[in-house]
Each structure stands twice: as structure tokens, then as C-alpha cells.
Amino acid sequence: MTDFGQRLIQAAQEAVAIARGEAEAGSYVLHRPLVIDMRAIREALGLTQDAFAARYRVPLETVRNLEQGRAQPDPTMQAYLTVISREPEIVRRVLETA
């Protein structure tokens, strides 16, 4: 077996140990993806999908795909949606004057 194959098997065994709770605490780092709830952001702003897409210059199809779970936001979209969720009026004003 190649070195790569052995490392792959070892990684899989370590993942199983972590999932079962058998790994020693502190011996691994758990990375959780940032969860962005597109619908919650849009609804908190009281906007329809069309209005959100127009105001924040996001393609309507992207809004629909994110809300229906057909797509996940890439890191750039995650950052943009985070800013919109925290400072929606600033983003709106900046885009209106751009």
C-alpha cells in the first residue's frame, strides 16, 4: 500500500474515533461551517425575494437557491450576507450611491 493510502486509512480511523467520542480531548480541532440563513435575513428585513435581490444586487436565482438549500454560499457571499444582516441600511445606502 502507498504512503498516501496508509495516511488515508489512518485519517478515517481517527475520524471514526472522534465521531464516537473516543478521541482524547484536545487532540483534534472541530471546524464548523458558518451557517447563513438567507431566508431569515431576508424576512427580518421584511423583503420579498425580488426586493432583496434588487436592493442588495444579488441574482434572484441565487436568493432562491440559497433559501431552498440547493446551494451553499461561498465565503464571499457568506461575508456579504453577514454584513447585510448586521448593517442592512449601510449596505443599502452604499449601493444606492454606487
**Confidence (pLDDT) at 29:** 84
**Confidence (pLDDT) at 27:** 86
- How many CA atoms lie less than 13 Å away from 80 in the CB half-sphere? 15
- 48-93: per-residue pLDDT in tens? 999 999 999 999 999 999 999 999 999 899 999 999 999 999 999 9
Average pLDDT, the chain: 92
Between the ranges 2-6, 14-18, 34-38, 61-65, where is the mean pLDDT highest? 61-65
**Confidence (pLDDT) at 1:** 81
CB 39 within 8 A of CB 67: yes
**Confidence (pLDDT) at 59:** 98
Q: Is the pLDDT of residue 33 over 70?
A: no
Q: What is the spatial distance between Cα 3 and Cα 5, in angstroms, rounded to a whole number?
A: 5
CB 81 within 8 A of CB 36: yes
Distance between start and end Cα atoms, the chain:
58
Q: Span 30-41, mean pLDDT?
A: 84
